[in-house]
């Protein structure tokens, strides 16, 4: 059974063909599709959110690792693009990492740890998705902090 503690809830706003409201723990935001494909462009698209998840997880993982190492780094950043060739082709994510003022050794370690961020590993391994019908109205989710726990474990293992 899917509990509200570990869920994101997405509901239709009734506006436009694609606009939805996403509720996560303490946050709520709109997602949509671009005007060019029939959306209102009122929020990021699902694939933009996937790119954002990979970029954010990468940067968070690197920052936590650098903090644990006592490195005072500035200018870290991540850019992610999604590409799809044909309907049956594997999706491609291109990730470019800006390492700011990191020295050569730090750069090597940060690129290593970036390859192990939890979202990167999830995308690389693939996932199983199960589907069921809701027996009652979906409850709003509660904040949990699971991502922080996973990154914390990753940094301990990579030390």
Domain boundary assignment for the chain: 4-158
Residue found by looking up tokens 């671009």 in the block? 34
Residue found by looking up tokens 């990979």 in the block? 54
Give the chain's mean pLDDT: 90
pLDDT band at 134 (very low <50, low <70, confident <90, very high): confident
What's domain 4-158's architecture? 2-Layer Sandwich (3.30)
Whether the predicted pLDDT of 4 surpasses 90 = no
Q: Indicate the pTM of the whole model.
A: 0.84
**Of 39-43, 56-60, 65-69, 144-148, which range is least confident?**
144-148
Alpha helices in 42-145 (DSSP H): 46-69, 104-114, 118-125
Sign (positive or negative) of CA dihedral 128, 29, 51, 18 = positive
pLDDT band at 46 (very low <50, low <70, confident <90, very high): very high
């Amino acid at each position: 059974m899917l509990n509200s503690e570990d869920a994101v809830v997405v509901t239709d706003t009734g506006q436009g063909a694609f606009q939805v409201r996403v509720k996560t723990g303490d946050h709520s935001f709109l997602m949509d599709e671009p005007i060019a494909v029939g959306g209102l462009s009122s929020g990021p698209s699902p694939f933009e959110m996937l790119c954002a998840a990979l970029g954010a997880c990468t940067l968070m993982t690197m920052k936590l690792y650098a903090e644990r190492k006592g490195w005072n780094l500035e200018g870290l950043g991540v850019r992610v693009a999604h590409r799809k060739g044909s309907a049956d082709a594997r999706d491609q994510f291109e990730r470019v990492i800006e390492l700011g003022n990191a020295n050569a050794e730090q750069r090597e370690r940060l690129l290593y740890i970036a390859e192990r961020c939890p979202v990167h590993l999830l995308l690389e391994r693939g996932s199983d998705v199960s589907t069921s019908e809701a027996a009652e109205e979906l409850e709003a989710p509660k904040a949990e902090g699971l991502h922080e726990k996973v990154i914390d474990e990753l940094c301990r293992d990579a030390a």
